[in-house]
Amino acid sequence: MKLYGLIGYPLGHSFSQRYFTDKFAAAGIADCAYRNFPIETIEGVETVLQTPGLRGFNVTIPYKQAIVPYLSGLSDEARAIGAVNCVKITPEGLTGYNTDAYGFRRSLLNLLGDVRPEKALVLGTGGASKAVKYVLEQLGIAFDAVSRYVKNGAYTYGDLSEEIVRAHRLIVNATPLGTFPNAEGCPVLPYEALGAGHFLFDLVYNPAVTEFLKRGAAQGAATRNGYDMLVGQAEKAWEIWNE
């Protein structure tokens, strides 16, 4: 039996196990399985790696950067981004990839169509935000980061005036705020500054309409959640594992 999985903590919110289990059933793939490996610290990956039949695994919060020292190699994209969400296990060792960038780019372009906003706000500075920033750079969209804490070159949420929000027509939530079961949470923004020219992308997918997206839509902004991004990154991971 070929086994694949997901490491992170907690994993109650994750769609990966259900997605791949359904995928295997629909395609009649009987020799593969996918399971969750909730590990409270990154050191727990050492136990995961001893699991018989393990061929590869996905990586989610909070280990997309912490996993790197355990790897023997990185794809060019993962190295440029500085975060890993997909690991392939081979006899030569563990190689890290970033398929978040692939999934985000595909889904973002579907949201934007032919429009390219002049500036974007990226909410959050963790591993997921690194893939977002990488894609925005590729697309030539200037961006500013937003952090809970004072960091070089980043706004804090207290800095976000209506003027700043109006000047950034694309806003990407790369934080877990609003994820089920804490669905009432959302980034602190002057939502009244949003309008029909804005695009809001939330990497959160559960619930399908987060408070962040709900408030944006109420102001006329175009919105998209993270589900299509996740499907894209999952399919890219499957392709990598089977190359």
Query: Which residues are part of the catalytic machinery?
Result: 64
- pLDDT of 160: 97
pLDDT of residue 172: 98
Helices (H) and strands (E) in the chain, counts: 8, 12
Burial of 126 (0-12, 13-18, 19+ CB in 10 A): middle
Q: What is the pLDDT of residue 151?
A: 76
| pLDDT at position 149 | 87
Residues 103/104/106/110 CA torsion (nearest 10 deg): 140
Whole-angstrom distance, CA of residue 49 vs CA of residue 238: 18
Predicted local distance difference test score (pLDDT) of residue 221: 98
Residue-level pLDDT at 153: 76
pTM above 0.95, yes or no: no
Token pair 């289990």 in the structure block, residue: 21
Question: In sequence order, which residues have a C-beta less than 8 Å from that of residue 95 and are 6 or more positions away?
Answer: 71, 72, 73, 74, 75, 87, 88
What contacts 24+ positions apart, CB below 8 Å, involve 175-181?
Answer: 175/123, 175/124, 175/126, 176/61, 176/204, 177/123, 177/204, 177/212, 178/202, 178/204, 178/207, 178/210, 178/211, 178/212, 179/13, 179/204, 179/206, 179/210, 180/13, 180/206, 180/207
Q: b vs e for 9-47, b when ≥16 Cβ sit within 10 Å of the residue's Cβ?
A: bebebbbbbebbeebbeeeeeeebbbbbbebeebeebee
Mean pLDDT, consecutive 10-residue stretches, the chain (243 aa), reads 96 88 97 98 98 97 95 97 96 96 98 97 92 97 94 89 98 94 95 98 96 98 97 98 95
Residue linked to tokens 């990586």: 59
**Share in percent of the chain as helix, strand, coil (round to 5):** 35, 25, 40
| 3-state secondary structure (DSSP) of residue 119 | strand
